[in-house]
Structure 1
Amino acid sequence: MALAVLVLAACGEEAPAPQQRVDLGEPRPAAPEVMAVSPDTSEATWSVDEDGQSIEFGNLGEGPLLTLACRLGGEEPQMAVIRHAAARPGLSALFPVIGNGMRSRFMVDAVLEENEWRWEGVLPADDPQLDVFTGTRALTATLPGRGMLEIRGSRIPGEFVTWCRAGGETVAVEAEEGEDAE
């Protein structure tokens, strides 16, 4: 019987655990997560910028969606791959471009240029990843959360990359055997 009394006493109510309160301050609205819809690029084309140092892909009368810029000021030419899409300071992303029989992944950072937060990656002009632009087939370029660009095949990006790799010099085309050189 004594054992039963001890067991019943042990089953009694325990003292409530002390509660802690944490002040979280004023509630803030969550940052909106923007999931961009892929832009319509069915009418988009490549064009050479006024300064001749970059080419832009976009719809006529609208801002560019993608820019390739050649930077010739240093010892070796560099190429900037710029995706014009909303970016937040301090972020980085992988920007895959697929086409012409290859896949390239460009590391891009959020940069503030020309009053626009955009995604930009800079690499040496002779970097093999840029070969994705040198063919004439269609490309897809996807920035996570900012949609996919469908880019029709064109010779313009390839010619531009070749021009930049040559340091901005025009490359002479040699006549093939049997052709008359004028």
Structure 2
Amino acid sequence: MRLVAPLLLLSLTLTACDRPAPLPQGSVQRVALEESGQRQAMAEVSPDTSEASWTVATDGQAIRFGNRDEPPLLTLACDVDATPPQLVIIRHARAFPGQSALFPVLGNGMSSRFLVDAKLADGEWHWEGRLPADDPQLEVFSGTRDITATLPGRGMLEIAGGRITGEFLEWCRAGGRPEPVESETATEEPGDEA
């Protein structure tokens, strides 16, 4: 019992050493939450795409989806100089340096998720992902059905179905060269000889 009391006293003394020193009087300051610099979540509403359509870029190396006379909302570009050719997916929405996100795209019987990173190009921060053009996830663009593309916090794009995305994907996979066209020559049926 004699040994227990000094050990108990020692442990209480050591425990008191772990406590922070009291703050001097007047050093505590209250700050309203509005002044703390905390940002609220800045989710954006989904853009109205009921009148939006795809257009081909002037250089023919990309297609852009958006409303007439407005900046594009989504761009599919082809880097034909890469080996193998790469499809570049660009979601034109507010982004900040160092950010990454998963960009789910659903359509044509598929669900794909593309890793996109914040990139700076032409003075605009946007979301960009690059994949080899033959990546199976890109099949989501190959059909003619409607597509939805949702970037968390930046809204969902509703894209009406059509052939342009599939044709562009095939063109990119071919390295930017059109498919060779077979000539249609008439073949003689046996027994047509005179």
TM-score normalised to structure 1 length: 0.81
Distance 1:181 1:121 in 2: 44
Deviation at 1:165, TM superposition (A): 0.3
Among 14, 19, 24, the residue aligned to 2:22: 19
Q: Which has the larger radius of gyration?
A: 2
Among 180, 184, 187, the residue aligned to 1:172: 180
Give 2:169's aligned residue.
161
Distance 1:181 1:156 in 2: 30
Distance 1:43 1:34 in 2: 26
| Partner SS state of residue 166, structure 2 | helix
Distance 1:59 1:103 in 2: 25
For residues 20 and 83 of structure 1, do their structure 2 counterparts lie closer, same or farther at Cα, with a shift above 3 Å needed? same
Structure 1: 5+ residue stretches without partners: 1-16
**1:146-165 deviation per Cα after TM superposition (whole angstroms, max 9, x unaligned):** 00000000100000000000
Distance 2:181 2:74 in 1: 29
Deviation at 1:76, TM superposition (A): 1.4
Among 27, 31, 44, the residue aligned to 1:36: 44
Number of residue pairs matched by the alignment: 163
Aligned structure 1 segments of 4 or more residues deviating by more than 6 angstroms: 21-24
Distance 1:56 1:128 in 2: 21
1:124 aligns with 2:127: no
Structure 2: 5+ residue stretches without partners: 1-19, 187-194
| Partner SS state of residue 110, structure 1 | strand
**1:57-110 deviation per Cα after TM superposition (whole angstroms, max 9, x unaligned):** 000100000000000122210110000000011010000000000011000000
Distance 2:170 2:91 in 1: 21
Summarize the alignment of residues 32-181 of structure 1 with structure 2, pairs less than 5 Å apart. 32-174=40-182
Deviation at 1:33, TM superposition (A): 2.8
For residues 173 and 136 of structure 1, do their structure 2 counterparts lie closer, same or farther at Cα, with a shift above 3 Å needed? farther
